[in-house]
Amino acid sequence: MIKISFSGFSGSGKTSLMTEVKKILSLKSRVETIEELKGKNPFDSDKKSCFVSQFFFVSTQINEENRKALAPLDYLLCDQSVLDQWIYWNRYLADKEMTSQLEEKNNLLKALYQFWIKTYDLIFLIRMDLNELEKRDIANEIRITDVEHIKKIEELYKKSIQEDNLKVIEIWNNNTIDESALEIIREISEYTEREREKEKEQLQETDAGV
pLDDT digits (tens, 9 = 90+) for 114-138: 999 999 999 999 998 777 665 654 4
CB-CB contact of 121 with 115 (8 Å): no
DSSP secondary structure string for all residues of 51-80: HHHHHHHHHHHHHHHHHHHTS--SEEEEES
CA dist., res. 2 & res. 63, Å (int):
17
Q: What is the mean pLDDT of residues 148-163?
A: 92
pLDDT digits (tens, 9 = 90+) for 11-52: 889 999 999 999 999 999 999 999 999 878 887 766 566 899
CA dist., res. 200 & res. 84, Å (int):
34
Residue 34, SS3 per DSSP = strand
CB-CB contact of 170 with 7 (8 Å): no
Domain boundaries, the chain: 2-209
CATH architecture of 2-209: 3-Layer(aba) Sandwich (3.40)
Long-range contacts of range 194-203, CB-CB < 8 Å, 24 or more positions apart? Answer: 195/2, 195/121
Give pLDDT, residue 180. 94
Give pLDDT, residue 141. 44
